[in-house]
Amino acid sequence: MSSNTKLKDNLRAAILAEPDAVLDDKDLMQALVTADEMARGDNVIDLRGIAMQRLETRLDRLEDTHRSVIAAAYENLAGTNQVHRAILRLLEPMEFEGFLQALGSDVAEILRVDHVTLVLETTALQEDPAIEKLGGVLTVVEPGTVDAYLSLDRGGPAREVILRQIQQHSPRIFGPIASQLRSEACLRLNLGEGRLPGMIVMGAKDANHFTPQLGTDLLTFFAGVFERSMRHWLS
């Protein structure tokens, strides 16, 4: 008996011992089907084989969709955890200055953004040394600035949360780091009846960090918690 024959006998014995291994191997089954088609010749059409190919294509698409859904679910869970951690950090400070410092440091780090600015409108614009000590996390502007900033490049009414790439750098909002930022999230704040609106602006150096295609539910929730905290500090 030749060595070739022994190899074939060994292979045959292995297949007979574990036939499921052959059935579960997609590439091997495809090779067997192809060999069967070649043996029949070109003048025979295997409708069952064509149907199987279409089912395989649909199965591949379904598996891709399944993987995409799972990946999106994990990403949403990670985003939810980030926002929850950021909110818990905001609730820790016992003083307003510590609250703002946490926003500009720990919260920005948790949310993985390069800068966070709280913008407050006021009718009494004046230089305040206390604002300078906060490291650029707070800026005060004249009435109407928030809506004007939210409406930039939109040609329509401002939404509560806007994600976009930065077209016009604003040192007034982001300070010295403004020219380095490429995308931003703008969150409008309702600070209560009789008070002018405010805004949180998060800036990122990555142009794709904030895009209009991304969901805004988590940021809307963050803004809702933040504005309620601000009402408490301003009362």
Domains and CATH numbers, the chain: 3-63 (no CATH), 81-234 (3.30.450.40)
The predicted-structure confidence for 171-230, as pLDDT tens digits, reads as follows 989 988 999 999 999 999 999 888 999 999 999 999 999 999 888 999 999 999 999 999
Q: Is it the case that residue 59 has pLDDT exceeding 70?
A: yes
pLDDT of residue 107: 94
Report the range of poorest mean pLDDT among 30-44, 97-111, 118-132, 154-168: 30-44
Q: Helix 26-40 and helix 47-90: axis angle, to 10°?
A: 160
3-state secondary structure of 71: helix
The pTM (predicted TM-score) of the whole model is 0.68
Name, in order, each residue with C-beta under 8 angstroms of 200's C-beta and a sequence gap of 6 or more. 103, 116, 117, 118, 119, 185, 186, 187, 189, 223, 226
Query: What value does the mean pLDDT take over residues 155-184?
Result: 86
Cβ–Cβ under 8 Å, residues 122 and 139: no
106 or 10, which is more confident? 106
The predicted-structure confidence for 14-35, as pLDDT tens digits, reads as follows 777 887 777 777 777 777 767 6
- Round to the nearest angstrom and report the end-to-end CA distance of the chain: 97
Distance CA 226, CA 93 (A): 13
For residue 23 the two structure tokens come to 């059935």
